[in-house]
Structure 1
Amino acid sequence: MDQILKDLSIDFIQLARTALTGRQQDVQLIIHRASKKFKEFNPELTESLIALLHESPTRTTPLRKHAETPLPVDLDSRLQLLRLESNIPDHEPILADRIQSGLNQVLSERRNTKALLKHGLNPTKSILFNGPPGVGKTMAAKWIAAKLNKPLLILDLAAVMSSFLGRTGNNIRFVLDYAKNTDCILLLDELDAIAKRRDDSTEIGELKRLVTVLLQEIDDWPSTGLLIAATNHPDLLDPAVWRRFEMVLNFDNPSTEQIEQQVNVLLRDYLKQTDEWSKILSHVFFGSSFSEIERQINQLRRSAAVEGASLDTKLEQLVTLGSDMTKDQKIELARALYDSGIVSQRRAQQLTGVARETIRKNIKKIKN
């Protein structure tokens, strides 16, 4: 209870600070996050808060007061070239130690700029996130923007890529010039779409010129700003792009321990045996991305709600879907099920197809 009250106090202070800035979408996110903490000991309050969120007039966020001019638009389609992303993640990002260390260094540099200047140094101004989809690249950008208390602007590729020759390059310049003069964090997502290798014979001259424009803009990026780029296809990037970024962070699919942490975060408000299920599902989800895990967990919660079934029952069904596991992985899963105390050896056998004698031998082997 003491920890819940402490967390709520922190949320209330953050809510007050955010409300005073007029950032409606961020206010809604904070209320939604806080409402989940009330659910166990005050469900009526949780329902009231959720009802208020549903009654709110709009979830679109106007440009925050950090910028005095409207977002740049494509001159033909009139589509905005940037979108403003909420910089309050639903939970703290679950990142590998080396990733977290790199981000912490960037934060430390920004908070100690004077110390750097005394030694003739500037803080890191450009970071490249490299890794497969759904492994936390955008979440990391949101987190660092939140920690620096700056809005996160994301390049909208659909609007930037114009059908008119020469217009795409101008759009990129508009976006980067705007971000340079705005107190924000700029995220160039899917960088490989606009910074492809210039030796690719399949690409037209316009896209090759676009890469040159982008390189020049990155070189001229001010040390007062922070540019983050992300790519899912590092092999497509022009080699010169890599040299322009002062820090490169390589993201991977989550480890077993990271999966366990994420599942715990996603289920802790809805299950009593969250720790036990987190250990079990860390085997089921091994090899999956963070976004894929969250998608499957949310689908199970929806299914349980619609059918009036218990979430535990749905999670057991999920375990039976691990048919593409190797024999050793299934044995580890069966042992985790038995060790959890949630199911018996017989039920662990039914769910995984691993014989009870094999489970007992594995348990005995580990104990010895």
Structure 2
Amino acid sequence: MQKLEGGGIKVEVDEHLREQLVQALLGLTETDIENVLAKSIIAGAGLTAEALPVILDEKKSVIKGTGALSYTHPEPASNLGGYHNLRRILQEAAVTFTPAARAYGVEPMKGLLLVGLPGTGKDLTKKIASSLLGKSLLDLDFGSVMGEGGGVIGSSAMTIKRALSIATTLKGILGISEFEKAVGGLESSAKTDGGETARTIAYLLNWMQEQSDLLTPRLR
């Protein structure tokens, strides 16, 4: 901030906006951060509250460039009708991420498996969870992960590692779609793709096991 002010750039940032800016920039590389800040400063004639939406839009573009990841807006809990038990689970999950819960030694909820026919609200549930927990929502399309690279051995593993690296830094909610498409070929992976599917899923499961502050809904 001092460097910007020293350069004659208008800076109007209070503690609340500072925290919002930090959260908005999480998950970006140093180069991406510099580029995003430069664009937001130009658009808003300085670093002010007007820079925040510009940063978020640029962040979406950066995340989208990873191929398998996309940034999704949350939905208010009132948009989910019925599903009282599911609402209760999401509300309980939100509590496990609070400082008070951690002070009592409560472990944050690791994940949620959503199974159902198309149109039953699985994607909406992810957005509701994002709203209730106050965390950013990333969507990981597992079909895109397995299809990226045109079948080149190692391409899927590289894609999943890159996507999960961003998700880890963001510390939000990672929704995994089309998971069953990858699992369906797990048993024959050694014969059909040189074990690529098995390695990719193993990496994902190990990563999920290690996470303590990130919720991962899986959709089937």
Please, which runs of 5 or more residues in structure 2 have no aligned partner? Answer: 1-19, 22-52
Aligned partner of 2:50 in structure 1 is none
Q: Please report the TM-score for the alignment, with normalisation by the length of structure 2.
A: 0.63
Which one of 158, 174, 177 corresponds to residue 186 of structure 1? 174
- From the superposition, tell whether residues 174 and 182 of structure 1 become closer, same or farther in structure 2 (CA, over 3 Å): same
Aligned partner of 1:64 in structure 2 is 56
- From the superposition, tell whether residues 110 and 95 of structure 1 become closer, same or farther in structure 2 (CA, over 3 Å): farther
- From the superposition, tell whether residues 190 and 183 of structure 1 become closer, same or farther in structure 2 (CA, over 3 Å): same
Higher Rg of the two aligned structures: 1
Say if 1:87 and 1:145, in contact at 8 Å, map to a contact too: yes
Aligned partner of 1:196 in structure 2 is 184
How far does residue 167 in structure 1 lie from its aligned partner after superposition? 0.5
> How many residues are paired up?
165
Aligned partner of 1:101 in structure 2 is 88
Please, which runs of 5 or more residues in structure 1 have no aligned partner? Answer: 1-20, 23-60, 75-79, 232-368
- From the superposition, tell whether residues 206 and 63 of structure 1 become closer, same or farther in structure 2 (CA, over 3 Å): farther
Separation in 1, partners of 2:100, 2:93: 14
RMSD of aligned residue pairs (Cα, Å): 3.2
1:1-368 aligned at under 5 Å gives the runs: 64=56, 70-71=62-63, 73=65, 80-88=67-75, 91-111=78-98, 113-118=99-104, 120-157=105-142, 159-160=144-145, 161-162=147-148, 163=150, 164-196=152-184, 198-200=186-188, 203-204=192-193, 205-221=195-211, 223-231=212-220
Partner AA of 1:229 in structure 2: R
How far does residue 193 in structure 1 lie from its aligned partner after superposition? 2.1
Separation in 1, partners of 2:131, 2:58: 14
Q: Please report the TM-score for the alignment, with normalisation by the length of structure 1.
A: 0.39
How far does residue 209 in structure 1 lie from its aligned partner after superposition? 2.0
Separation in 2, partners of 1:224, 1:144: 14
- From the superposition, tell whether residues 68 and 152 of structure 1 become closer, same or farther in structure 2 (CA, over 3 Å): closer
Query: Would you identify which runs of 4 or more consecutive aligned residues in structure 1 move more than 6 Å?
Result: 65-69
Percent identity of paired positions between Structure 1 and Structure 2: 22
Say if 1:85 and 1:154, in contact at 8 Å, map to a contact too: yes
How far does residue 142 in structure 1 lie from its aligned partner after superposition? 0.3
How far does residue 114 in structure 1 lie from its aligned partner after superposition? 2.6
How far does residue 97 in structure 1 lie from its aligned partner after superposition? 2.5
Separation in 2, partners of 1:206, 1:83: 23
